């Protein structure tokens, strides 16, 4: 076997080993009703299994660069695999809901670490003129896993239990650990990293996720998370002004169009992950589908995302990105709002059809937003754009899951008698987010060549 082929096999093993991180945030929605029943928790509590993962995944992505500089690529990859495997095993064996959430927090950190690190490996394995192919390969693999995750999760839940969602990825993650031993072992020049700023972001987000207006007894219970959030925001702003290397490069946010792109990414993330969380619960508790049937129904909307990302990506190279972005948000708003109207989306077939419309719009937005964000800042800032857009997408995602759970209350996640009005309210809220995201994206303008 040639060295070139061996390198590609090594990369393929790492790429496959990174897929459990994707499976773990897409497939969890299928297991939510079963987890809620086993631990006797309601919708406002069980949402932590999704939102906690998204919150710490965001942190892991931000940490990846710092660990790469300090530990080297091989050690950073091995660390992510060990933590993810150990946390998955903990989740499999968890005998309390608190243990399960703690396991999800650790899984999120490890999942966030491995994805940018694998991209580094892929970029180094392909010649510079072929790195677009490497990026496309990773994107196809990620989108493919996101599409298959609900179906795989549904079959695992029906065949075994929700615990199988945590146990099944462990062998693949251990294979990732073995493959990581072949990664280059070098430590790069250490760059400063704003740990305080990162902790402030995490503390503020977790405080917002912990807000529970329906259970808070007295003003103190509501005030404490808000005080933590306020203090975290103050610390973050202070670090942005004083840190040698602040968490967010101020130069990016001097461009009004990029601020619009960041706001759109956060709203898009809330819509994307909120709907990914809501649909499996609705199909199981509102439309009386089994976990495996739910996964099969959701396979078609997932395939539509892949197709629309591909088509919109080609269009974004030929046409202005703003009309494409607006069309995507309009499609998402239409499909999501229709899901909340019982007479036209009251069967699994009808709900799937409207989910296809909504998901197609999201695929269009994904391509147009990513492309547009790179066109509204000077070339010198381009390397920072993908990471910043990902950050805001996952930030919005965690909050979107939380707000959806507030609309649903305790009932839908824990009993088969789910209220149709609760689902309708959540869908209408997500459709409203798509409309607000459209308005947020409106100021995005292509940067003139003279800039």
Same domain? For 310 and 371 the reply is yes
Q: At what angle do helices 420-441 and 321-339 cross, to 10 degrees?
A: 170
Same domain? For 163 and 227 the reply is no
Same domain? For 281 and 387 the reply is yes
Q: What is the pLDDT of residue 16?
A: 84
Same domain? For 255 and 352 the reply is yes
Same domain? For 72 and 167 the reply is yes
What percent of the residues of the chain are helix, what percent strand, and what percent coil, each to the nearest 5?
Answer: 80, 0, 20
Residue 226 lies in a domain: yes
Using the 3D structure, point to which of 164, 183, 202 is the last residue of a domain. Answer: 183
Place of tokens 């009309």: 323
Residue 420 lies in a domain: yes
Residue 55 lies in a domain: yes
Same domain? For 224 and 325 the reply is no
pLDDT tens for the 451 residues of the chain, in order: 344 554 667 777 888 888 999 999 899 999 999 999 999 888 788 989 999 999 899 888 888 877 887 788 888 889 999 999 999 999 999 999 999 999 999 999 999 888 888 877 777 766 665 655 666 677 778 888 888 999 999 999 999 999 999 999 999 888 888 888 877 766 556 667 888 888 898 888 888 888 776 655 555 666 778 888 889 889 988 988 888 778 787 888 888 888 999 999 999 999 999 999 999 999 998 898 999 999 999 999 989 888 888 788 778 777 788 888 999 999 999 999 999 998 888 899 999 999 999 999 998 898 888 888 878 888 777 767 877 888 888 889 988 998 888 887 765 455 544 556 788 899 999 999 999 999 998 888 776 554 4
Q: What is the DSSP letter of 190?
A: -
**Could you give phi then psi for residue 274, rounded to 5 degrees?**
-65, -45
Instruction: Give the ranges where 126-249 is alpha helix by DSSP (H).
Output: 131-159, 164-167, 170-180, 195-209, 219-242
Task: Measure the CA dihedral 191/195/200/206, to 10°.
Answer: 110
Instruction: Enter the tokens of residue 96.
Output: 């309390």
Instruction: Give the ranges where 347-443 is alpha helix by DSSP (H).
Output: 348-374, 385-408, 411-414, 420-441
Q: Which domain holds residue 266?
A: 249-451
CATH number at residue 166: 1.20.1250.20
Same domain? For 311 and 179 the reply is no
Same domain? For 253 and 218 the reply is no
Number of structural domains (the chain) is 3
Residue 189 lies in a domain: no
Q: What is the pLDDT of residue 91?
A: 95
Same domain? For 201 and 288 the reply is no
Q: What is the pLDDT of residue 443?
A: 84
Using the 3D structure, point to which of 223, 244, 265 is the last residue of a domain. Answer: 244
Residue 102 lies in a domain: yes
Whether the model pTM is above 0.85: yes
Instruction: Enter the tokens of residue 2.
Output: 């040639």
Residue 188 lies in a domain: no
Same domain? For 88 and 218 the reply is no
Residue 72: left if φ>0, alpha if ψ -120 to 50, beta else—which one?
left
Residue 409 lies in a domain: yes
Same domain? For 201 and 175 the reply is no
Same domain? For 171 and 320 the reply is no
Q: What is the pLDDT of residue 3?
A: 46
Place of tokens 């077939």: 349
């Amino acid at each position: 076997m040639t060295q070139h082929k061996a390198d590609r096999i090594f990369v393929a093993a790492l790429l496959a080993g990174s897929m459990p991180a994707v499976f773990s945030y897409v497939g969890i929605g299928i297991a939510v009703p079963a987890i809620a029943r086993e631990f006797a928790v309601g919708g406002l509590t069980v949402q932590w299994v999704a939102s906690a993962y998204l919150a710490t995944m965001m942190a892991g992505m931000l940490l990846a660069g710092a660990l790469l500089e300090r530990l080297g690529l091989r050690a950073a990859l091995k660390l992510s695999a060990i933590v993810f495997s150990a946390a998955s095993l903990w989740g499999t064996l968890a005998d309390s809901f608190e243990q399960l959430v703690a396991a999800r927090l650790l899984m999120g950190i490890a999942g966030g670490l491995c994805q940018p690190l694998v991209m580094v490996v892929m970029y180094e394995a392909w010649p510079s003129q072929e790195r677009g192919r490497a990026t496309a390969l990773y994107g196809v693999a990620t989108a493919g896993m996101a599409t298959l995750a609900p179906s795989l999760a549904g079959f695992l839940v029906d065949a075994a239990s929700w615990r199988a969602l945590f146990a099944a990825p462990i062998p693949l993650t251990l294979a990732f650990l073995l493959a990581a031993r072949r990664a280059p072992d070098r430590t790069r020049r250490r760059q400063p990293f704003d740990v305080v700023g990162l902790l402030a972001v995490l503390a503020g987000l977790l405080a917002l996720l912990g807000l529970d207006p329906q259970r808070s007894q007295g003003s103190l219970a509501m005030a404490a998370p808000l005080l933590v959030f306020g203090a975290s925001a103050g610390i973050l702003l202070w670090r942005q002004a004083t840190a040698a290397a602040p968490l967010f490069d101020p130069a990016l946010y001097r461009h009004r169009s990029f601020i619009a792109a960041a706001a759109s990414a956060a709203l898009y993330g809330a819509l994307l992950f909120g709907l990914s969380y809501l649909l499996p619960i609705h199909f199981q508790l509102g439309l009386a589908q089994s976990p495996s049937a739910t996964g099969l129904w959701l396979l078609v909307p997932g395939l539509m995302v892949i197709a629309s990302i591909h088509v919109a990506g080609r269009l974004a190279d030929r046409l202005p990105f703003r009309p494409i972005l607006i069309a995507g948000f309009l499609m998402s708003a239409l499909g999501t709002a229709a899901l909340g109207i019982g007479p036209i989306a009251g069967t699994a077939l009808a709900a799937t059809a409207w989910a296809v419309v909504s998901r197609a719009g999201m695929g269009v937005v994904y391509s147009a937003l990513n492309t547009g964000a790179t066109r509204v800042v000077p070339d010198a800032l381009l390397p920072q754009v993908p990471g910043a857009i990902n950050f805001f997408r996952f930030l919005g995602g965690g909050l979107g899951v939380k707000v959806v759970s507030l609309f649903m209350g305790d009932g839908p996640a824990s009993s088969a008698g789910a209220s149709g009005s609760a689902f309708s309210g959540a869908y209408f809220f997500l459709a409203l987010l798509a409309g607000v995201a459209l308005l947020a994206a409106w100021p995005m303008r292509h940067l003139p060549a003279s800039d």
